[in-house]
Amino acid sequence: MVEPQPHRVTLPNGLRVVLAPDAEPGSTEPGGPPVVGVSVHYDVGFRSEPEGRTGFAHLFEHLMFQGSESLEKLAHFRHVQGSGGIFNGSTHQDYTDYFQVLPSNALERALFLEADRMRAPRLTEENLRNQVDVVKEEIRLNVLNRPYGGFPWILLPPVLYSTFANAHNGYGDFTDLERATVDDCAAFFDTFYAPGNAVLTITGDIDVDQATDLVHKHFGDVPARSVPPRPSFAEPAPSGELRDRHRDPHAPLPAVALGYRLPDPVGELDEYLANVVLAAVLSDGDASRLQQRLVYRDSLVVDVQAGAGLMGAPLDARDPDTFTVTAIHSPEVATDRVIDAVDSELERLATEGPSAEELSRVTARWAAGLHRDHDRLVSRTLDLGSAELLHGRAELVGELPGRVAAVTAEEVASAAKALRPEARAVLEIEPTSESDGGTA
């Protein structure tokens, strides 16, 4: 597929707008289906929430669906679904996103909905208490009552990082969530949800000029507010191996996570992409290094994964970001045997690099996966918005397959060499045995 070429507009209130039509004006190429994607990315995520308010960015994401200046509670849901569309939002380390995908004749409706809650969400005590309960139930379901819940994205950062911003639980502590007030919510909105702190992305079956007019109509009168300076979350890399253990009452088997610091995904993009390729060489598919060694040859683990990006996807955060290797193994296999095997494969790659066949296979698969994802309008919309917010270049989305294909064996070897045992975190997951009163 041909990646859409973004057009940019910046409104007087500071809102950045990216428009990516399926077909350029005057193009002889056929356009896509009569569907549009609309997303808003706000430059605030887990790492921006204040100390003592863990989970606040995620809680606020929920509150943004509870009505707005002109709309009662649940109206956003009703208007999008009544148009035949879908919607959702998500909170990440460095941003929060909201999206709708609807028939193209409902574009104005989506823009009105997003502008209305950017102007003034309905922040009430009733809505706050209700959504605190919803978030707490989500944590119970996804973390506290699930095997390997929070592994590794919640449990590994406190081992690898030392600052509150990088190490704390972004899902939220129940005590912190319950302490939240409406005044806290209003202050968070005033600080981070200004139009100048956001990127609006519109993709699909659109006419750029008409869409731009609609953006001015609905967002032009959203009041400008000051934009907070973006803090640096940098901290020194570990000077030694850091270890911790976590007992999981629901885990049937032991597990281990290794965490390493990655190059800056914005300032050192090519070095970062070498780690993306390294992760694929290590664990992408049955022919990968760790699958062959740890699963099939030595029978050390039942599952092993490697990845660039703490939240499970690469290029999803600014610096610092995390390279992870996770494995689930039987109780009969010592954790250090698993770690030693991972270290051995990393050493082989650092010394020899991947073969030409390996490199060709993983880069082709990665590029194909990216194109496949971008056949889905929602993925294309969200990736363009996050690339514009984090990198200042939505065009990066279309460049990534070529840049990944250009990664060399020597660059992958250098990336493997940088994953040193003396500068990593090791987190062990211990199941609760029957003798402890739990389940094996």
Question: How does residue 26 score in pLDDT terms, banded at 50, 70 and 90?
Answer: low
Instruction: Say if 2 falls within a structural domain.
Output: no
Are residues 265 and 187 located together in one domain of the fold? no
**Per-chain mean pLDDT for the chain:** 94
Are residues 215 and 284 located together in one domain of the fold? no
Instruction: Say if 41 falls within a structural domain.
Output: yes
- State mean pLDDT over 233-261: 97
pLDDT at residue 436 above 80? no
Return the closest-CA partner of residue 329 out of 247, 254, 257: 254
Are residues 252 and 388 located together in one domain of the fold? yes
Point out which residues pair with 103 in neighbouring strands. 35
- State mean pLDDT over 139-166: 97
Are residues 84 and 190 located together in one domain of the fold? yes
pLDDT digits (tens, 9 = 90+) for 310-324: 988 999 999 999 999
CA–CA gap between residue 279 and residue 289 (Å, rounded): 10
Are residues 169 and 270 located together in one domain of the fold? no
Where is the domain boundary, 184, 219, 254?
219
pLDDT digits (tens, 9 = 90+) for 134-146: 999 999 999 999 9
Instruction: Say if 88 falls within a structural domain.
Output: yes
pLDDT at residue 308 above 60? yes
Q: For strands 35-42 and 242-248, give the pairing.
A: unpaired
In the chain, how many domains are there? 2
Are residues 252 and 365 located together in one domain of the fold? yes
Query: What count of other Cβ atoms lies within 10 Å of the Cβ of residue 362?
Result: 25
pLDDT digits (tens, 9 = 90+) for 398-421: 999 999 999 999 999 999 999 999
- State mean pLDDT over 374-383: 94
Instruction: Say if 232 falls within a structural domain.
Output: no
pLDDT digits (tens, 9 = 90+) for 50-78: 899 999 999 999 999 999 989 999 999 99
Residue in the structure block whose two tokens are 């406190």: 158
User: What's the confidence (pLDDT) of residue 30?
Assistant: 55
Instruction: Say if 206 falls within a structural domain.
Output: yes
Are residues 201 and 252 located together in one domain of the fold? no
Instruction: Say if 1 falls within a structural domain.
Output: no
Are residues 192 and 267 located together in one domain of the fold? no
Higher pLDDT, 322 or 1: 322
CA–CA gap between residue 273 and residue 265 (Å, rounded): 8
Are residues 408 and 342 located together in one domain of the fold? yes
User: What's the confidence (pLDDT) of residue 8?
Assistant: 97
Question: How does residue 439 score in pLDDT terms, banded at 50, 70 and 90?
Answer: very low
Are residues 210 and 340 located together in one domain of the fold? no
Model-level pTM?
0.95
> Would you state the structure tokens that stand for residue 38, as one six-digit string?
């609309």
Are residues 213 and 154 located together in one domain of the fold? yes
- State mean pLDDT over 188-212: 97
Residue 148: give its domain's CATH number: 3.30.830.10
User: What's the confidence (pLDDT) of residue 440?
Assistant: 31
Residue type, 368: A
**Boundaries of domain holding 51:** 7-219
Are residues 111 and 215 located together in one domain of the fold? yes
Find which of 29-33, 210-214, 234-238 is predicted with most confidence, using mean pLDDT.
210-214
> Would you state the structure tokens that stand for residue 62, as one six-digit string?
């929920």
Instruction: Say if 230 falls within a structural domain.
Output: no
Instruction: Say if 121 falls within a structural domain.
Output: yes
pLDDT at residue 27 above 60? no
